[in-house]
Structure 1
Amino acid sequence: MTIPLIFLAMALGAIISIYLPMIAQTARLLGSAPMANVPFFGIAFAASIVIALATGGRGADFAKIGNLPVWLLTAGVMSAGMIIGSSYLVPRIGIGAFFVLLVSGQVLAGLVFGQLGLFGAPSTALTVGKVAGAFMVIAGVYLVTFK
């Protein structure tokens, strides 16, 4: 792993910290968490097409979309659930607790998915250090959420 990739991943984490509260604010203004998804996904869809076209000839790539396995398309449903869930949770539990719980879920799922090599992720052995790190994440969740 290179330093630029580490900083890119951290920047993406910072972006999540910005856009999820923005979606929660949109849900509040619209009076509905599901409705907050509508402008978000409309703009994300348009931006994705522009970015895909701007990065080279994509005609053949667009044609491949119809051949994707249906189970992969459920990622769109998961994304919608993530946005709706964050719109609901952020105002109720707070941004700090939400992100700590969100990251802990990612860490724990990442350990399982990595161990089993699920979803195309490379299989990585579960080590004492990784388990200790997961326990530290859980301890952090406790401290941030309940103390």
Structure 2
Amino acid sequence: MAVPMILMALAMGAIISIYLPMITQTAKILGSGPMANVPFFAVAFVTSLVIALASGARGETFQKIGAIPPILLTAGAMSAAMIIGSSYLIPKIGIGTFFVLLVSGQVLAGMILGYFGLFGVPATALTLGKLLGAAMVIGGVWLVTFR
């Protein structure tokens, strides 16, 4: 795996660690987790449009949006639920525990998605190393969550 891709993935993890607490603060200011999504998604929508247009997307590309299978559109609802859930959970369980559980869920779900090749990801075998890694992740969750 190329070092720039590793660094990009690490940066994305850092961004998640920054933006979810920012949305939690927005929820506190507005007094509503669901309402915190409104300005977030408005800015995300405008930013996505600007990036799409700047990268060469044109009318025919936007017309293809209608061809997206409805099941894939549920990713938007999942994103909203994740943000609302984080604005609820972070103040209750703490940011460290929240992120350990979040990353653990990603690792375990990623192994399952990869094993079955779901949603167009390449199918990958479950190896002893991956299973041991997952067990270590679960052990880490226990150590952080139940100290």
TM-score with structure 1 setting the length: 0.98
Match of 1:82 in 2: 82
For structure 1, list consecutive stretches of 5 or more residues without a partner in the other structure.
none
One-letter code aligned to 1:94: G
* Residues 82-114 of structure 1: CA deviation (Å, up to 9, x unaligned): 100001000000000000000000011111111
Match of 1:139 in 2: 139
One-letter code aligned to 2:102: L
After the TM superposition, which segments of 4 or more aligned residues of structure 1 sit over 3 Å from their partners? none
- By how many angstroms is 1:126 displaced? 0.2
One-letter code aligned to 2:90: V
Match of 1:6 in 2: 6
Distance in 2 (CA, whole Å) between partners of 1:118 and 1:57 is: 27
- By how many angstroms is 1:57 displaced? 3.9
Distance in 2 (CA, whole Å) between partners of 1:28 and 1:136 is: 35
- By how many angstroms is 1:71 displaced? 0.7
* Residues 118-139 of structure 1: CA deviation (Å, up to 9, x unaligned): 1111000001100000000011
Match of 1:122 in 2: 122
Matches within 5 A, 1:1-147: 1-147=1-147
One-letter code aligned to 1:69: P
- By how many angstroms is 1:58 displaced? 2.3
Q: Percent identity over the alignment?
A: 70
* Residues 14-60 of structure 1: CA deviation (Å, up to 9, x unaligned): 00000000000100111110000000000000000001001114221
TM-score with structure 2 setting the length: 0.98
